[in-house]
Amino acid sequence: MCETTRRSTLAAALALPALAWPEAPGRAQAPARPAEAPRPLFGAKQWRLANGLTVVLAENRRAPVVAHYLFYGAGSGEDPPGRSGLAHYLEHMMFKGSAQVPSGAFSRTVAREGGQDNAFTSRDTTAYFQHIESSRLALMMRMEADRMAAPLFNPAEFEAERSVVMEERRQVVESQPRARFLEAFDSAMWGAQHWRGRPIIGWMEEIRAITREDMLAFHAARYAPGNAVLVVAGDCEEARLRDLAEETYGRIPPRPFLPRDRSAIPAGPVEARIERRDPAAREAIFLRAFAAPSATWGEVQHAQPLEVLAHLLGGGIGSRLHRALVETGLAVGASAYYEAETAGASVFAIQATLRAPTAPAALEAAIEREIRRLVEGGVSEAEVARSRRQITAGALLALDGLGAAPRILGSVLTLGLPIEEAEHWPERVRAVRREQVEAAARAVLGSSFTTSGWLLPA
């Protein structure tokens, strides 16, 4: 019962510029229409219960269904030293019963009502959700509030679920050469015990060491109403949700919680370069990552320009890396990645898959030339405009699903960012200018805090 999630948002306004028709003789020119205020993506309403729980409603009456998401401001980045994987293991155990809901009954009830439920853990948050017919929302809220207040962490099932988590690690990490490499890469760059260097699922030996007392302490410290965000999207009126929230979550007493405290980043990478040869690897993959600011840490003014930079550099056909590496036959594929909405430091990463018979050194040299050309020569207005347009226009389809609004709103609010960060993201992207992209590129791609790595077939 787990998902082990880049945020996409819908452009607030996609109006085309008006055509300039010639003025007819003798006809007075019509006064210019005032510019419309930017429209929020979701028009969500937000309030807070007396116990500290933040409640958000993104009403959408297209169909009689709702998405009910409960986010906690605690992910793998909050795992205690020596107990990596605790947040994820706890997510599993939250399905093993609470005061009023027996073990396994939660998901069986959702399925019986024709709905779907699941949960996911990221570095920044843990979330539990259900998609259900709107008349069954009250039932979902009662059950979710029950396990917020009093999960059992059933001792009789604790070891069996540990085995499930360990097997999940074997399947999603240890049996996959690329996953093994990425785990080793993060550890090499940040350190095996830094919150960015630890895997979300945890190191195997530390999963074995987690005790039920560790889990109870983590839940008591992090799973308080004041450290949680409830997001409901779909067919629900505000008055109804206010009443239901008070009747369910509102009965949970307030309690103090441990604020998020991401440790400072190292002065530089633990290892500037790694190479892994793996008999199971079928392709040679190059990865280079740079420590980068985010919307919550460092030079936050670079966050949106870095989103544009990542698309400009490695956002598919038409990007610089595609032209320099794929179209020239050096690589099968090339991309760039950056995430602004994260707690603490982020990373700006470049990845390429070698095309035989290209030598690894030749591909790496070509990537370094493109980085240097961008930092020293800057970018064009046309490139920036293309990236802004494609980033925001692509959000139309991404927001059509029932779970898109809750995931975006919940992840932003659990980072401590204002709801406007989600509602007006497209305007901020469209406001990015060439000079800002160039300044962000110099600040990040010119940094000495960078690690390069190769995954090579044995």
Q: In this structure, what are the phi and psi dihedrals at residue 352, rounded to the nearest 5 degrees?
A: -145, 145
- 306 and 435 part of one domain: yes
Is the domain of 239 the same as that of 286?
no
**Are 224 and 302 within one domain?**
no
Q: Does 247 share its domain with 358? A: no
In a domain, 314, yes or no: yes
Q: Which residues pair with 233 in a beta bridge?
A: 58, 67
pLDDT reported for residue 398 = 66
Q: What is the DSSP letter of 117?
A: E
Same-domain check for residues 187 and 322: no
Nearest to 350 by CA among 306, 304, 391, 290: 290
Q: Report yes or no on 292 lying in a domain.
A: yes
- The first and second tokens of residue 108, run together, are 């069986």
Q: Are 164 and 301 in the same domain?
A: no
Considering the domain architecture, whether residues 90 and 168 belong to the same structural domain is answered as yes
Whether residues 74 and 207 fall in one domain: yes
* Residue 12 lies inside a defined structural domain of this protein: no
Strands 65-72 and 126-133, by their bridges, are: antiparallel
What is the chain's alpha carbon radius of gyration, rounded to the nearest angstrom?
24
Sign of the Cα pseudo-torsion (400, 91, 348, 284, in order) = negative
Q: How far is CA 318 from the centre of its chain?
A: 25
Could you tell me if 336 and 239 lie in one domain? no
User: Which helix H or strand E contains 397, and what residues bound it?
Assistant: helix 395-398
CA–CA separation, 410 and 42 (whole Å)? 13
Q: How far apart are the first and last CA of the chain?
A: 35
- Residue 357 falls within a domain, yes or no? yes
Q: What is the pTM of this model?
A: 0.91
Instruction: Tell me the CATH number at 438.
Output: 3.30.830.10
309 lies in the same domain as 372: yes
Q: Which two tokens stand for residue 187?
A: 């550890």
CA distance 279 to 275: 13
Q: Is residue 17 part of a domain?
A: no
Q: Specify the residue for token string 């399947």.
A: 171
Note whether 241 and 278 are same-domain residues. Answer: no
The pLDDT score that the predictor gives to residue 396 is: 62
In a domain? residue 53: yes
Say how far apart CA 47 and CA 61 lie, in whole Å: 21
- Alpha-carbon gap, residue 34 to 330, rounded angstroms: 51
- Number of domains making up the chain: 2
Amino acid at 298: G
Spell out, as residue ranges, where the chain has pLDDT lower than 70: 1-37, 394-398
CA distances from 445 to 22, 288, 289 (A): 48, 10, 9
Distance from C-alpha of 357 to C-alpha of 329, rounded to nearest angstrom:
10
The question of whether 91 is a catalytic residue gets the answer yes
Domain range for 377 is: 273-457
Q: CA angle, 284 as apex, 281 and 285 as ends, to 5°?
A: 105
The encoded tokens of residue 39 equal: 């429209």
- Asked if the structure places residue 405 within a domain, the reply is yes
Residues 96 and 147 in one domain: yes
pLDDT of residue 37: 67
Q: Is residue 93 part of a domain?
A: yes
Burial of residue 310 (number of CB atoms within 10 Å: 0-12, 13-18, 19+): buried
Among 398, 371, 392, 386, residue whose Cα is nearest residue 319: 386
Annotated active-site residue in 59, 91, 307, 370: 91
Cα–Cα distances in angstroms (integers) from residue 232 to residues 60, 271, 291, 456, in the given order: 10, 44, 35, 46
